[in-house]
Structure 1
Amino acid sequence: MERLNSRVQLLWIGRAVVVAALLAGVAVAIDRFAIPVDPPLIAAVVVVAAVLGTVHAVLRFRRWRFEIQDDALFLVRGVVTQVDTSVPYVRLQHTDTQRGPVERLVGLSSVVVYTAGTRGADIRIPGLRPERATELREQLRELAAESEATDAV
């Protein structure tokens, strides 16, 4: 099974640090405008949030894998709730590559796979090098077309 690029951990850890900083801002606002809060308590909450977010990011990276199988795209992901997903190629509608500003900054991209059947049924494969994302998108498009042609016969 293929793993994500290790730089995706930087994005996920960065997100955890931003959330911890926002939490600090909320705690300071509560201290200033509502209830006095002990500064060491604020610091402890922020540190715990940053550490837990970092641990979650590392565990998430270790778990996240995907594989192009003969008849389906198979994904394994999740930390607290572990999810194994099999998406038959015949259910694929289309695929996109996405690169947000932060992803571009660290040289990563994502592939989004849209499936048939339900509203909003899409799967995002993050943390890919742009070349790999383009290659994967095209590979999935070809497999979906082959599957549709085979299913029509």
Structure 2
Amino acid sequence: MESLNPRVRLAWVAGALVPGTVILVAGLIADRVGLPVPPAAAAGLAVAVVALGLAAVFFRYRVWRFEVRDDSLYLVRGVLTRVDTSVPYVRIQHVDTRRGPIERGLGLASVVVYTAGSRGADITIPGLTPARASDLRERLRELATESEFDAV
């Protein structure tokens, strides 16, 4: 099975810092406006949230794997709840690549797989190099097209 690019951990760390920063700023604002929120308590909570987020990044990266199989795209992910997903190619409607600002800065991209009968993106594979994401997108598109013809 294929793992993600190690740089994805930096993107996930950035995501882990956001809630801690929000808690810290909210605690400082609450202290400024006179609410009974000690700044030390807000800072302690912010540090705890960031520490849990950083631990989750470590375990999330260790678990996240995917594989392009003969008949389906197979993924394993999840820290507390392990999720094994198998997406048959015949269910794939279309495949996109996505690069947000943090991903662009880190030289990464994600592949988003949309399946039949879903309201949104069913599967997102993060932490790929742009070249790998493009290759994977095209491979999944080809496999979906082939499986559509085989199903008829």
Distance in 2 of aligned mates of 1:72 and 1:107: 27
RMSD, matched Cα? 1.2
The CA deviation at 1:70 is: 0.8
| Secondary structure at 1:95 match in 2 | strand
Query: Is the 8 Å Cα contact of residues 89 and 147 (structure 2) preserved in structure 1?
Result: yes
1:49-80 CA distance string (max 9 Å, x none): 11111011111111111000110000111112
The structure 1 segments of at least 4 consecutive aligned residues displaced by more than 4 Å after TM superposition are none
Q: Percent identity?
A: 56
The CA deviation at 1:34 is: 4.7
Which residue of structure 2 lines up, in the alignment, with residue 81 of structure 1? 81
Moved more, 46-55 or 32-41: 32-41
The CA deviation at 1:88 is: 0.2
Equivalent pairs, count:
152
What TM-score do you get using the length of structure 1 for normalisation?
0.94
> Which 5+ residue runs of structure 1 have no aligned equivalent?
none
Query: Is the 8 Å Cα contact of residues 114 and 123 (structure 2) preserved in structure 1?
Result: yes
Which residue of structure 1 lines up, in the alignment, with residue 19 of structure 2? 19
What TM-score do you get using the length of structure 2 for normalisation?
0.95
Which residue of structure 1 lines up, in the alignment, with residue 112 of structure 2? 112
The CA deviation at 1:121 is: 4.6
1:25-70 CA distance string (max 9 Å, x none): 1111222225222232222111111111101111111111100011
> Which 5+ residue runs of structure 2 have no aligned equivalent?
none
